[in-house]
A and B are shown apart, each in its own frame.
Chain A
Amino acid sequence: MRDVAILGVGMIPFGRRDEDTLMDMLASASLKALDDAGLGDKSVDAVYVANMGGGMLQHQSSIASSLVDRLSLLPAAAETIENGPASGASAVKNGVLAIASGYYDTVLVTGGEKMREVTGWRATDFVATMTHPQAEYPYGITLPGMAGMFTRLYMEKHGVTREHLLAISLKNQEMGTRNPYAHVEMALDRGGIFDSPHAVVNNPVSADPLHLYDLCPVSDGAAALVLCSVEMAQKRGKPYVVIAGFGQATDTHTLAEREDPTDLKAVTLAAQKAFAMAKLKPSDVSVAELHDAFTILEIAESEHVGFFKKGEGGKAAAAGKTRLGGQIPINLSGGLKARGHPVGATGVAQMVDIVWQLRHELPENRQVKNAEIGLTVNFGGFGNNVLCFVLRRVEP
């Protein structure tokens, strides 16, 4: 196995992109990554596309085959990878394995989703198709509903409060105002969504006990990166980022079958594997992008990857420990909460943001000074398929 580097990254602004087709978005993000990688008109050996809903939402299949044609990357190998909301990190993992094995030298990984062209009613149903087809889906359960049930138990067992959830909403939407790629570029006011009479109207219950601003938006967007061998990255003569470690783990499909539904075992295992491979520990991480599809998940994941003990993640967020300049800055992109969550794009976008952090390319109001190690968590289903990556900055 040889070490793998990220040669280039690219992203397009997330949001509602009525003017673009899914393929337009995938192609735009891919070209940015190819240009950033300095590949010019050279091709790549393979293209992996992360997408969850093309078949259901756009009535389109064989998306990777279409993308290599659009980008004139023929005859590169091409595959579409669907792993729910963890499709992005799954596609990156497969690209990493392909480079590490020595079979390919350059791989383009692009993640994208177009979710806003259907009604919210349809989009909610589309996302709910990842629940169990007999034991969960027929009842009308949604992913916010799963998160609501999880939050109620997490509050009961670990003492998380609405005040703790609020800290995540405020932080991530504030960071969204500093990120030109974010879907939601609107800072929130505590009174407006929490403790004034207007909060009831502005921030209604969505999936009790979660409110509207505890949920990520439904977004369109795409992100891409180019993987290569470390030797190839070294030749460019400037700082680059390597995959120091990664891990993936699964858990039961239904939440009801987990002995302790508040224990996100797949997150813990994926993180342990990633840290072991990287020969690093949670306290070594400079900056993290966690999968905050719901505010509770940023808190729970910050505990399960080992940044904080169980029951301490919410308090840490409320104390500012996860803000820029804090003990462990989390979701300085705004996270899924503000950058948005085009499901197939998210896992790739998380890594693009971490690469920008580790290359020290972000403006001062988002950049962690001297960031060396980054971590991502991409959370599929309701924690039944999770990938964690540890990335490291390397000087040439």
Chain B
Amino acid sequence: MRNEISLTAYKCKKCGKLHYPFHDRCLECRGRDFEKVGPQGNAKLLTYTAIYNLPWGFDQRFLIIGVAEFQNHVKAMGQIKAESVDQLKLGMTVKPSWEPIRVQQGEDVYGLKFEPL
């Protein structure tokens, strides 16, 4: 299993605005040069939901998904390792990891998972 978080955010070299995912031009100043930045530390849970009507490709009863902000302000979506939304609250700290999030054409697809702390 891969453990390193393979997610890249992009900091505008002109104005400093942080982007994830990639944009060809800065959303603030339209600058085209970016410094690659990795997410750092734990994250703060900004919002979340439990989805019970899942799309094709997910053979499970439900899925909990949320958006979290890392300590260096990178914001990203991830699956949440919880049994119920009752274990979650807005603003709580979650620990990120890089794990299989789905299977496509027989291959594991890796992505962010967040574990409530």
Contact = CB atoms under 8 A, between A and B. Distances in A.
Given A134-B21, A139-B65, A257-B20, A152 B102 contact: no
Interface string B45-77: 011111111111110000101110000000111
B78 interface: yes
Interface residues of B, number: 33
B56 A125 contact: yes
Contacts of A119: 56
B92 interface: no
A135 B55 contact: no
Given A141-B65, A141-B77, A256-B77, A148 B49 contact: yes
A138 B101 contact: yes
Interface string A142-184: 1011001110110010000000000000000000000000000
Interface residues of A, number: 38
Given A125-B56, A257-B19, A142 B51 contact: yes
Interface in B65-100: 65-67, 75-79, 85, 90
B29 interface: no
Interface stretch (A103-111, A202-210, A326-334): A202-210
A139 B113 CA distance: 9
B83 to A, nearest CB: 13
**Secondary structure of the B side of the interface?**
strand
A204 B61 CA distance: 13
A122 to B, nearest CB: 5
Contacts of B57: 125, 140
A104 to B, nearest CB: 35
A239 interface: no
B31 interface: no
B111 interface: yes
Contacts of B50: 148, 205, 207-208
A312 to B, nearest CB: 22
What are the 8 closest A-B residue pairs judged by CB atoms, nearest first? A148-B49, A125-B55, A125-B56, A135-B21, A149-B47, A208-B50, A145-B51, A256-B75
19 contacts: A120-B53, A135-B77, A139-B78, A139-B79, A139-B101, A140-B58, A142-B55, A149-B48, A152-B48, A153-B46, A204-B52, A206-B53, A208-B85, A255-B67, A256-B67, A256-B75, A256-B76, A257-B20, A257-B75
